[in-house]
Structure 1
Amino acid sequence: MTQSFTKSIVVPVADEDDARETATALERYTVEDVTVLHIIEKGEGVPDKTPVAQSEETAARSFAAFHEKFPNANTETVYRRDVVSGIIEVASEIDASAIVFRPRGGARILQFLAGDRSLRLITESKRPVIALPETDGDETGGGGTDDAEVM
């Protein structure tokens, strides 16, 4: 039995700008069911990075930005200490066919120090992970290609 990569996808977004850029990169592809996901990082015994109300407002603005291109997208907000585990858990809970994300730029040293979430997502997920190419509006550079990279 063959299965579609893009039947039901989970798309994590970090903030309003990321949501808008990710939706723009995704809109050229055919997808049946999209769940846009925002993870609110919780400290578990240490102070949170931002107040919960502020994080929830960021999630709401992110969803509104994503809905500009995908008005029927489902939304999920979850509270986790580990963002990558949260993404993988939600994808499993909704039985997503793939996790689709837009790599965020940044210096290699920052990626190393942060544990490179993209690498963890790719290596720890039991389902396909698709990295969208950059769009012309991305801050990280230009152009991209016409095809998403399947990792």
Structure 2
Amino acid sequence: MATNHGDGASDLLDHVLVPVANRKDARVTAAELRRHSPAHVTVVYVVQTTTGAPDKIPASYSEEMAAESFDAFRERFPDADDHLTYGDDVVEAIFSAADGIDATAIAYRAREGNRLMQFLSGDLSLRLVTEAELPVIALPRAEGPESN
């Protein structure tokens, strides 16, 4: 569990925000995060919207995916809060959610993807790590049956 170090600073794992992309990602990320025993967790799902154009995925489908992701995450963290947010910039939406819940850190697991996909997506992991105003914990990619 999280501890207070007596210096007035909150512990890194007091309230961790965890972005997830889908049910499988939520399960694997929760399994990896569980090893670190955070005191409180909020799982966030960002419904990506497009300004001035139709969205790629209907909001109702994205909201259903979010609910499935939250349920999968709660298999490991039954008391986790959830946060559904919308935005055209996923990284900014994550930062806004972290600020809104007073998170002490963001914990995420890098997703699979080749260099071209990373380039086309703006490499969300790189932006998440380099632009954050609070600590970002990069969880290892899990190996084994849950990662499949």
- Structure 2 length-normalised TM: 0.90
> Post-superposition, which runs of at least 4 consecutive aligned residues in structure 1 deviate over 3 A?
none
- Summarize deviations over 1:104-147 as a string: whole Å, max 9, x none: 111012101210000101111100000001212335xxxxxxxx
- The percent identity for this pair of structures is 47
* Number of equivalent positions: 139
Q: Which SS does the other structure have where 1:29 is aligned?
A: coil
Structure 2 residue 69 is matched with structure 1 residue 69: no
**Alpha-carbon RMSD:** 1.0
Q: 1:112 maps to which residue?
A: 119
CA deviation digits over 1:78-123, x for unaligned, max 9? Answer: 0111000000011011110000000011101210121000010111
Residue matched to 1:22: 29
The aligned runs of 1:64-103 (5 Å cut-off) are: 64-103=71-110
Specify every segment of 5 or more residues in structure 1 that has no aligned partner in the other structure, as ranges.
140-151
Structure 2 unaligned residues grouped into runs of 5+: 1-6
The Cα offsets for residues 17-74 of structure 1, whole Å up to 9 and x where unpaired, read as 1101101111111111100000001111111111111000000000000000000000
> TM-score, normalised to structure 1's length?
0.89
- The 5 Å alignment of 1:44-55 reads 44-55=51-62
Return the letter of the residue paired with 2:50: G
Letter paired with 2:29: T
